């Protein structure tokens, strides 16, 4: 989840890679059966300290062009002490957000919201609280020889990249639901056979044999066994920063506030125009990585329910109209669910924050035919199936296994 004022920080790990000649979508050709190559031995397990630089980017789904988003620095001092610094590459923002664990506690600071949070350090096998960890590809650094997640399929192949031999590791998730057995997500990493170090990481999804890459991470520099500054794992509250408070969305049973937003051609749309239908109200932004990652699932649900008196209204919030227009062009062949734009941006009275108490995106509300809120959820992680459970409680079946990491919506 991307945080705006008082909520959790940052989105799921998104790695962007653009290969030579790669466009936004690629047809995957079946490979001839061959003996899979072996992964090279990683040196990262034996290094006392590791420091690496990387660039985190988004991928334009139409052109395949990279949009650099963060300059990333990762630091480790053994398996339990690690740090991520992410500096925005957008104009006007030069102060990094960061996350680190000193082995006892973990700390996160979000520059965009100027807020922070702390917790006990993650135990072995436990997810770090910050999604900066995943965004920076820290699992490739801290646990370079980890097996695939349960249920995932791992494929290894050889490839040459920039004149260097690589082992390409693709971890493919099971299909998202039974009605779309060819729709899956994947994470792909390029490992240099000579050094054993990760070079790139790509995330995306595949449908009907066509790949749609979303995010890429490119490692550019490695430094080993260099003494670290004493402040690397020292915590001090940044100037003016406030502690994160968990957001409280509108309660179930509340009448959903009416609002007006605008279609791509400028036509006003009111929420009240949709009364009598179940509405999946999705708040998102073009710059929000977790929002973009959640959209293939939203599209899958929309295709199954659009003829069942259910609709999606995806409201682009806290954004610029020019960026929204670019997104529409880039994604016109990818998503079919309806989108609208809130011109209020971040101003007081914007739809998300002013009416729906949204402090982090993506946030979704499910609104019943009576115009009342039936369920809500904040953020998105791989494997979330919140909408399936929420719609089932309203009598709408969405084919697929309900496997959400979130609590079921209240009855």
Query: What does the pLDDT look like over 319-376, one tens digit per residue?
Result: 889 889 989 998 888 899 999 999 998 788 899 989 999 988 999 999 999 999 999 9
Q: Is the pLDDT of residue 23 over 70?
A: no
Q: How many CB atoms lie within 10 A of CB 204?
A: 26
Q: How far apart are CA 15 and CA 354, in angstroms?
A: 32
Q: What is the per-residue pLDDT for 21? A: 30
Q: Are 176 and 380 in contact (CB under 8 A)?
A: no
Q: Is the pLDDT of residue 27 over 60?
A: no
Q: Is the pLDDT of residue 407 over 70?
A: no
Name every residue whose Cβ is closer than 8 Å to that of residue 21 and which is 6 or more positions away in sequence. none
User: In which element (H, E) is residue 305 found?
Assistant: helix 289-305
Q: What is the per-residue pLDDT for 176? A: 61
pLDDT band at 131 (very low <50, low <70, confident <90, very high): confident
Give the pTM.
0.64
Q: What are phi and psi of 132, to 5 degrees?
A: -60, -30
Structure tokens at 18: 């653009």
Name every residue whose Cβ is closer than 8 Å to that of residue 341 and which is 6 or more positions away in sequence. 261, 262, 263, 264, 315, 316, 319, 321, 324
What are the beta bridge partners of residue 206? 184, 211
Q: Is the pLDDT of residue 177 over 60?
A: no
Q: How far apart are CA 279 and CA 365, in angstroms?
A: 8
pLDDT tens for 202-247 read: 998 887 888 888 899 999 999 999 999 999 999 999 999 999 877 6
Comma-separated ranges of CATH 2.50.20.10 domains in the chain: 2-233
Q: What is the per-residue pLDDT for 382? A: 63
Regarding beta strands 82-88 and 278-284, do their DSSP bridges make them parallel or antiparallel, or are they unpaired?
Answer: unpaired
What secondary structure does DSSP assign to 335-354, as a single string? --S-EEE-TTTTSTT-IIII
Q: Is the pLDDT of residue 1 over 60?
A: no
Q: What is the per-residue pLDDT for 210? A: 86
Q: Are 199 and 163 in contact (CB under 8 A)?
A: no
Q: What is the per-residue pLDDT for 317? A: 95
Q: What is the per-residue pLDDT for 401? A: 37
Q: What is the per-residue pLDDT for 391? A: 95
6 or 302, which is more confident: 302
User: In which element (H, E) is residue 170 found?
Assistant: strand 164-172
CATH number for the domain formed by residue range(s) 2-233? 2.50.20.10
Mean pLDDT of 52-76: 90
Comma-separated ranges of CATH 3.40.30.10 domains in the chain: 247-392
Mean pLDDT of 81-90: 92
Mean pLDDT of 152-161: 95
CATH superfamily label, 247-392: Glutaredoxin (3.40.30.10)
3-state class percentages of the chain: helix first, strand second, coil last, to nearest 5: 15, 35, 50
Q: How far apart are CA 364 and CA 389, in angstroms?
A: 13
Query: Mean pLDDT, the chain, as a whole number?
Result: 85
Q: What is the per-residue pLDDT for 369? A: 96
pLDDT more than 70, % of the chain: 85
Q: What is the per-residue pLDDT for 49? A: 97
Q: Is the pLDDT of residue 8 over 70?
A: no
Instruction: Enumerate the H helices of 194-242 as residue ranges.
Output: none
Q: Is the pLDDT of residue 50 over 80?
A: yes
């Amino acid at each position: 989840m991307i945080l705006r004022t008082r909520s959790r920080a940052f989105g799921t790990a998104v790695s962007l890679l653009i290969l030579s000649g790669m466009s936004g979508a690629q047809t995957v050709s079946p490979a001839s059966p061959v003996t899979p190559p072996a992964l090279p031995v990683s040196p990262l397990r034996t290094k006392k300290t590791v420091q690496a630089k990387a660039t985190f980017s988004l991928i334009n789904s139409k052109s395949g062009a990279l949009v650099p988003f963060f300059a990333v620095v990762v630091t480790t001092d053994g398996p339990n002490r690690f740090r991520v610094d992410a500096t925005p590459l957008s104009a006007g923002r030069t102060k990094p957000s960061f996350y680190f664990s000193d082995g006892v506690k973990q700390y996160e600071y979000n520059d965009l919201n100027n807020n922070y949070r702390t917790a006990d350090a993650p135990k072995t096998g436990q997810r770090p609280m910050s999604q900066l960890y995943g965004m920076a590809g820290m699992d490739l650094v801290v646990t370079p020889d980890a097996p695939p997640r349960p249920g995932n399929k791992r494929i290894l192949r050889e490839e040459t990249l920039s004149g260097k031999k690589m082992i390409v590791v693709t971890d493919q998730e099971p299909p998202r639901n039974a009605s779309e057995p060819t729709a899956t997500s994947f994470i792909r990493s390029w490992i240099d056979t000579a050094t054993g170090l990760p070079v790139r990481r790509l995330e995306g999804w595949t449908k009907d044999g066509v790949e749609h890459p979303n995010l890429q991470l490119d490692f550019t520099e490695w430094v080993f066994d260099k003494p670290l500054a004493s402040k690397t794992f020292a915590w001090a509250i940044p100037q003016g920063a406030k502690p994160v408070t968990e957001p409280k969305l509108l309660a179930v049973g509340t009448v959903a506030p009416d609002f007006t937003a605008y279609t791509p051609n400028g036509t006003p749309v009111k929420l009240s125009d949709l009364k009598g239908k179940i509405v999946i109200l999705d708040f998102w932004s073009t710059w929000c990585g977790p929002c973009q990652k959640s959209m293939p699932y939203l599209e899958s649900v929309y295709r199954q329910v659009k003829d069942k008196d259910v609709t999606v209204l995806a409201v682009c919030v806290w954004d610029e109209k020019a960026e929204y227009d670019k997104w529409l062009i880039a994604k016109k062949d990818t998503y079919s669910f309806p989108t609208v734009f809130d011109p209020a941006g971040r101003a007081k009275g914007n739809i998300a924050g002013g009416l729906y108490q949204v402090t982090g995106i993506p946030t979704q509300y499910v609104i019943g035919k009576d115009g009342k809120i039936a369920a809500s959820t904040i953020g998105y992680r791989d494997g979330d199936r919140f909408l399936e459970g929420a719609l089932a409680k309203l009598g709408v079946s969405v084919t697929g296994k309900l496997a959400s990491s979130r609590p079921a919506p209240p009855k």
